[in-house]
């Protein structure tokens, strides 16, 4: 069972720059918007905006660490391409594509695979911050943060960039107990190492383990059934 992780934040809050401490061989990057990185690097990234293409690559599972940079644009670009279509079907399709992508990570990648979604945030009318979607119609079908067990928020704070790891009531951040301090440096390599240590997973860049999900599911079902 792979692990999807959501890193949300406003533009310029330090989401993309958090990649800076990874080695190129440790991570594969999908660059949805095709933007250059905000630091000197030797990363090679695939510019792709179609969730189905990303899913097919994830299923091949040649790496155990992936990043989808500007993941909200998967929804935005598809909505723009379908603006002339009448009806609500396009919103349902966009929500389904995103849900299918997360589902692919959870069900069709190895147990030591982590996929990071670097995603824009937005402020609601009540002042609370949430992950950005392509409109309230999609929010009605999909509570984005509900698909993730780990949601961090990138914030520019006191002339430095940090990740907030738990909600203070004004955002939708969350992470497992005792995994992180309340505020940490915006270092995605540190985040990745911490998650892997917490769950006992192989280091980033290791060959992904073969999935044992069918066997595991049978064993779990047997235990539940007594």
For residue 178, give the CATH number of its domain.
3.40.50
Which of 56, 65, 1, 55 shows the shortest CA–CA distance to 212?
1
The full DSSP string for the chain is --EEEEEEE-TTSSTGGGGGGS-GGG-EEEESS-PPPSS-----EE----HHHHHHHHHH---SEEEEETTHHHHHHHHHHTTTS-SSHHHHHHHHHHHHHHHHHHHHS-TT-EEEEEEEEEE-TTS-EEE--S-HHHHHH--GGGG-SEEEEEEEETTEEEEE-S--SSS--B--TTTS-SEEES-HHHHHHHHHHHHTPPPTTSPPPPP-HHHHHHHHHHHHT-
Separation CA 138–CA 176 (nearest Å): 27
In the numeric block, which tokens belong to residue 166?
Answer: 């738990």
Separation CA 204–CA 221 (nearest Å): 31
Question: What total of structural domains would you count in the chain?
Answer: 1
- What is the β-pairing status of strands 114-123 and 45-46? unpaired
Domain hosting residue 220, numbered range: 3-224
What pLDDT shows up at residue 87?
Answer: 79
What pLDDT shows up at residue 216?
Answer: 53
Could you read off the pLDDT tens digit of each residue along the chain, which spans 226 residues?
899 999 999 999 999 999 999 999 999 999 999 998 988 878 889 999 999 999 999 999 999 999 999 999 999 998 898 888 887 888 888 889 999 999 999 999 999 999 999 999 998 888 899 999 887 777 877 888 999 999 999 999 888 999 999 999 999 999 999 999 999 999 999 999 999 999 999 999 999 987 654 445 544 444 444 4
What pLDDT shows up at residue 166?
Answer: 97
């Amino acid at each position: 069972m792979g692990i999807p992780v959501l890193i949300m934040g406003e533009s310029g809050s330090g989401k993309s720059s958090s990649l800076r401490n990874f080695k190129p061989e440790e991570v594969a990057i999908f660059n949805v918007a095709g933007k250059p990185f905000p630091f000197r690097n030797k990363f090679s990234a695939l510019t792709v905006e179609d969730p189905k293409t990303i899913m097919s690559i994830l299923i091949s599972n040649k790496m155990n660490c992936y990043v989808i940079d500007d993941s909200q644009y998967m929804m935005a670009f598809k909505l723009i391409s379908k603006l002339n279509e009448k009806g609500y079907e396009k919103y349902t399709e966009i929500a389904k594509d995103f849900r299918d992508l997360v589902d692919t990570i959870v069900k069709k990648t190895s147990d030591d695979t982590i996929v990071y979604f670097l995603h824009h945030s937005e402020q609601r009318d009540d002042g609370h911050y949430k992950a950005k979607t392509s409109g309230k119609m999609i929010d009605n079908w999909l509570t984005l943060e509900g698909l993730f067990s780990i949601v961090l928020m990138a914030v520019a704070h006191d002339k430095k960039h940090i990740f907030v790891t738990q909600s203070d009531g004004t955002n939708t951040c969350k992470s497992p107990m005792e995994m992180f301090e309340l505020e940490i440096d915006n270092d995605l390599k540190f985040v990745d190492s911490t998650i892997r240590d917490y769950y006992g997973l192989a280091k980033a860049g290791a060959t992904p383990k073969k999935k044992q999900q069918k066997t595991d599911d049978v064993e779990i079902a047997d235990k539940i059934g007594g």
